[in-house]
Chain A
Amino acid sequence: MMAWHDVAREGEFEPDVPKVIQVGDDRIAVFRLEDGYYAISDICTHEYALLSDGFCEGGKVECPLHQACFDIRTGKALDEPAEVDLATYPTRVEGGVVQFQL
């Protein structure tokens, strides 16, 4: 069943530094961008690596192992070596707390 999961209070986010939440087997990275909060799967679709360890800028995150690049807003794989898009999750702010749905 889908549920909303708390991430952190709005004031605790820094630009380009995601917060990571584990839900069961899923690891979700939540980013604050200029236009809101975005939640994506934290695992690169190329080889196993944590995107939250990668470089993030301009709404994109790079895999720290092999520099595959993803759009944080859409989860889209932007360049090889990744071709499979990331899962994305809806987000909302409830009483100053950022949440995502999974």
Chain B
Amino acid sequence: MRTLIIGAGQAGRRTAELLRGLDAEREILLLGEETEPPYDRPPLSKEILLGEERPRGLMQRDAKAYADQRIALRLGERVARVDLKSSRVETEAGLHIPYDSLVIATGARARSLLVPGANDPRILTLRSMADARALRAQLRPGLRLAVAGAGLIGLEVAAAAIQCDCMVTVIEMGERAMARCVPKEVSDQIEGWHRAAGVALEFGCRLAVVNPEKDALRLATSRGEFEADLLLVAVGAVPNSELAYEAGLAVDDGILVDASGRSSHPTVFAAGEVARIRQSCGRHVRFETWQVAQHQPSAVASALCGIDKPYSELPWHWTDQYKHNVQILGAHDAGLEWLCREDGGRLAYLGVDSEGRVRGAILIDNGRETTPVKRIIASGTAMSRGVLRDPATPLRQLC
């Protein structure tokens, strides 16, 4: 029996390793487009840009580690098509590989900028190790770096670049930092760190045209013209779901899967951020986080072995900027009231719904409260705002 995994990123590695843990016999083939063995991506926008060659957070194993686990890792192989009828994939090199079960773990790619002039080589995105090294090679004191997008990646890059003594301007269409995942109070804090470090933040600023000139990029925006030596585009990610779509699987902003990772075809699964996962409420959600790449493959590997272990975790992700760690848990939709608990420099923002239940939280330099907060959210219990706000009552006593 052979399980073929397309995509040798974090989700592909996890699926392969967890599957090997559950089934000593089966043949596991892990195909990757990049030439690097699988790695976790969080250090790409931080340690790699600051000059560390092999940060531990990459979790990168060498070829021998895969051989020892009897996982056949084939790198530099891009899959051209999947044929569901004959249960084979065809690589761009013309290889036909049959499978008994297939896992698509192709991840996502950086969304590109759709403005005139956006194909200049001084315009970069950040997604892969190669991208991170290319960006790192450019960062030097005095470099005028423009970053399009004040989301998590854009701000982590801005923080790293200003620490490399670049001159950094962040251009954001919206009104505040990380608006997609934190409330305004937290945006204010994050913006404060960047401004204190010398980053220029331009909100309500739409990039209209890039004029590539010989010695600079001239960026025409709704708030005037900026000059930059380099433009890093960090305006979100797009799932790599084309293979699945062309094969005839159900795809809608990601491969539609159930909580076990099963697609619309019974022998095909999707793992990690290419998957749009059915929630208990019936809605499908796609997560672009380390967490989903790490833990959802456990549901997939189990299902491949006939074990039902649906994926249902409270969404969690983090960002590290300057010396600060921000952890983002659960929901952050409009309509929540955000209560702030302050305990020295440790902050907890708790998002409470109209019935007094904590639905989401943002922890700043306060990771010890992550587990208690996860439990409080999972309990769904209504609590008094006074108690939630009071740092004298430890959160661990409330869960």
List residues of A whose CB falls within 8 A of some B CB: 45-47, 49, 53-55, 57, 62-67, 80-81, 83-84
Residues of A within 8 A of B56 (CB): 45-47, 84
Residues of B within 8 A of A65 (CB): 318, 320, 325, 367
Q: Is the CB of A64 within 8 A of B59?
A: no
Number of A-B residue pairs having CB atoms within 8 Å of each other in the complex: 49
Q: Is the CB of A47 within 8 A of B367?
A: no
B73-81, B106-114, B250-258, B368-376 - interface stretch: B368-376
Residues 350-399 of B contacting A (Cβ, < 8 Å): 366-372, 396
* Complex Cα–Cα for A84 and B56 (A): 10
- What is the total number of residues of chain B having a CB less than 8 Å from a CB of chain A? 19
List residues of B whose CB falls within 8 A of some A CB: 40, 47, 55-57, 59, 294, 316, 318, 320, 325, 366-372, 396
Residues of A within 8 A of B371 (CB): 55, 57, 62, 67
- Shortest A77–chain B CB gap in Å is 12
* Complex Cα–Cα for A16 and B153 (A): 35
Say yes or no: A81-B368 contact (C-beta < 8 A), given A65-B318, A65-B325. Answer: no
Q: Is the CB of B370 within 8 A of A81?
A: no
Q: Is the CB of B55 within 8 A of A53?
A: no
Residues of A within 8 A of B59 (CB): 80-81, 83
- Shortest B211–chain A CB gap in Å is 40
Q: Is the CB of B368 within 8 A of A55?
A: yes
* Complex Cα–Cα for A57 and B399 (A): 13
Residues of A within 8 A of B40 (CB): 81
Q: Is the CB of B55 within 8 A of A54?
A: no
